[in-house]
């Protein structure tokens, strides 16, 4: 995997790339949580999509990207800043249109891209999507920094897996990122009480006519599978896939099955 840092508006975005540089571009948007990064979120899924130009950024305030201190505390200001940076990333890469794969919080960003710049988006894959009226249970995310050690990270990740056993290397790498002071500062600022992020409900979803695949683990205890059911009901061109025996981090639990499904969805003609 190759990495670079690109100017994206007022921020810098750390970008990893994989796959065929001449293939159709696919943008991967990771979820939230202490220590979350693009590569940690999607490394297990990328081998199935080697024929695509896979673009895997760290969202602003995560990992190797900028950790700005001029953003107001609260979910909405940070969400807006991140969306601006993602659009600026497409501009910096000279890409008019990309397919988008978003997990959890990243799925919320993907929906905002569809709403704000529909002409820049091809097909959309929403994994364990946030952003619907289905309320996410985020207490385990915010509680991590009360006792920020590797055991707490193992518990946080384990709670998002159906089998409850977190991969050792994943936990170790994610904890190392979460322990960085700037990562902690950004995460806590974005999770502070403040103006909420936009919600994508029946008033806006029917206008999103892109082809969408909504996939969810049936045992997701962070954002229930009802979120993807809601999307399938209100998006006019959405397919739904539910994975039995799978939690919130479905790309870690069923990477081969999920990768095959995503590859087939992206390759199918409209």
Q: Which residues are catalytic?
A: 104, 220, 248
* Phi then psi dihedrals of residue 58, to 5 deg: -90, 125
Q: How far is CA 72 from CA 40, 78, 80, 269, in A?
A: 27, 7, 11, 43
Are 48 and 74 spatial neighbours (Cβ–Cβ below 8 Å)?
A: no
Q: How far apart are the first and last CA of the chain?
A: 30
Are 126 and 111 spatial neighbours (Cβ–Cβ below 8 Å)?
A: yes
Which residues have CB under 8 Å from 106's CB, separation 6+? Answer: 28, 29, 30, 31, 41, 59
Listed residue (173, 183, 188, 144) closest to 61, CA to CA: 183
Cα–Cα distance for residue pair 39/104, rounded to 1 Å: 15
Sign of CA dihedral 96, 87, 119, 32: positive
Are 25 and 17 spatial neighbours (Cβ–Cβ below 8 Å)?
A: no
Which residues have CB under 8 Å from 269's CB, separation 6+? Answer: none
What burial letters (b/e) apply to 123-145, b meaning 16+ CB within 10 Å? bbbbbbbbbbebebeeebbeebe
Phi-psi domain of 99 (left: phi exceeds 0; alpha: psi -120 through 50; beta: other) = beta
């Amino acid at each position: 995997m190759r990495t670079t840092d690109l100017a994206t508006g007022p921020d810098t975005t750390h970008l990893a790339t994989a796959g065929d540089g001449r293939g159709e571009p696919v943008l991967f948007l990771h979820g939230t949580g202490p220590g979350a990064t693009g590569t940690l979120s999607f490394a297990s899924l990328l081998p199935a999509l080697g024929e695509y130009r896979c673009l895997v950024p760290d969202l602003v305030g995560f990992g190797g990207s900028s950790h700005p201190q001029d953003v107001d505390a609260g979910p909405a200001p940070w969400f807006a800043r991140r969306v601006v940076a993602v659009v600026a990333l497409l501009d910096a890469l000279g890409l008019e249109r990309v397919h988008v794969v978003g997990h959890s919080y990243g799925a919320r960003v993907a929906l905002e891209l569809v709403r704000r710049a529909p002409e820049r988006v091809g097909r959309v894959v929403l994994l364990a999507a946030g952003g619907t009226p289905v309320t996410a249970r985020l207490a385990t995310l915010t509680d991590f920094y009360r006792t920020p050690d590797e055991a707490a990270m193992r518990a946080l990740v384990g709670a998002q897996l159906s089998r409850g056993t977190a991969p050792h290397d994943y936990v170790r790498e994610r904890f190392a990122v979460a322990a960085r002071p700037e990562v902690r500062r950004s995460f806590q600022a974005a999770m502070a009480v403040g103006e909420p992020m936009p919600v994508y409900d029946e008033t806006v979803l029917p206008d999103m006519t892109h082809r969408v695949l909504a996939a969810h683990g049936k045992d997701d205890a962070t954002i229930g599978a009802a979120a993807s059911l809601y999307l399938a009901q209100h998006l006019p061109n959405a397919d739904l896939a539910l994975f039995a025996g799978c939690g919130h981090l479905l790309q870690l639990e069923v990477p081969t099955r999920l990768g095959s499904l995503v590859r087939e969805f992206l390759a199918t003609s409209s």
